[in-house]
Structure 1
Amino acid sequence: MSRTLTLEPLTAADFAPFGDVLDVSGAPDKIINQGLCGRHHDRATLDFGDGRAGISLFNAEPRRFPITLDLVERHPEGSQAFLPMSQHPFVVVVAPDAGGTPGTPRAFLTAAGQGINFHRGTWHGVLTPIHAPGLFAVVDRIGDGANLEEHWFEAAYKIVEG
């Protein structure tokens, strides 16, 4: 049996329970670099139990619709930010915590140029680009100890375009 999730546009308000939307919406906080650059300051809450922040590069293969969602994961020791290195949208899946397991997932479609930061402990799907290249800078916890929990759904979800 398969269940269906319809993509929603990614907005800061809808995504707030799960993390931060990283974009340049609104006026910049400051103009820098001889007046040629707008700085949108401190857009994400980085949160690590121990260890340190690190920047990694992920190169993921694009997916095709309908996308099968059978697994979500979370990182109890740190937040995790995904910053696309192209101007292509990508799919973001999150789920509320329901007593230690994921509740009903939601699927969002970013706008070109948007990134996201998952709050520490947020259930989320794997990196899901829908265009090549699937190249992302990822800011997350680097440190000892387990920082990954996975949950496989008994019945998969299918993610469809809205």
Structure 2
Amino acid sequence: MIEIRARPLTATAFAPFGDVLNCDGAPDRVINAGLCGRFHDRAQVDVSDGRVGISLFRSALRQLPYQLDLIERHPLGSQAFIPMSMDAFLVVVADDDLTPRAFVTAPGEAINFHRGTWHGVLTPLSGPGLFAVIDRIGDGANLQEHHFSSPYRVIMG
């Protein structure tokens, strides 16, 4: 089994695959009589047709090392995973060559996969495993899966 090391998620390393959503730096805007900072337009929601939907996902907790045997992509729209707790989660992505890379989010970070990005399934490492997911709702084949003939082993590191 081939090992891949999960690295801390950074906007630069993740840029080819999607957007990192966090509250780093100063807010872009201050609203609500100065009591709320708005970190504006942090991800590009991209749907070819249909509509944008917000769903809630509850996923089983996983642990490292993690056996990676499946990735998927959504050719008709982007997909954002927004944890509803301050718990980190594992993010796996791959280029078109299907070679996976792994990242671990910081507590409170979310991600948005670009349309057509190969990615692992929702993989919470602790907490309730509850996420808001923003993605395309509509007709058409918007899910492609790839099963690895030899799984990968994701370790911290």
Q: Any residues of structure 2 matched to 1:1-162 within 5 Å, and which?
A: 2-98=1-97, 102=98, 104-162=99-157
Give the secondary structure class of the aligned counterpart of 2:13. Answer: helix
Q: Give the C-alpha shift of residue 27 in structure 1.
A: 1.1
Instruction: Report % sequence identity.
Output: 64
Structure 2, gaps ≥5 residues long: none
Q: In 2, are the aligned partners of 1:61 and 1:132 still within 8 Å (CA)?
A: no
Q: TM-score, normalised by structure 2?
A: 0.98
Amino acid at match of 1:123: W
d(CA) in 2 for partners of 1:132, 1:146: 32
d(CA) in 2 for partners of 1:153, 1:60: 21
Amino acid at match of 2:146: H
How many aligned residue pairs are there?
Answer: 157
d(CA) in 1 for partners of 2:64, 2:75: 30
Amino acid at match of 1:112: P
Report the RMSD for the aligned CA atoms in angstroms. Answer: 0.6
Give the secondary structure class of the aligned counterpart of 2:85. Answer: coil
The CA deviation string for residues 19-59 of structure 1, in whole angstroms up to 9 with x for no partner, is 00000111111100110110000000111111000000000
Q: Which runs of 4+ in 1 moved over 2 A?
A: none
Q: Give the C-alpha shift of residue 4 in structure 1.
A: 0.4
Q: TM-score, normalised by structure 1?
A: 0.95
Amino acid at match of 1:89: A
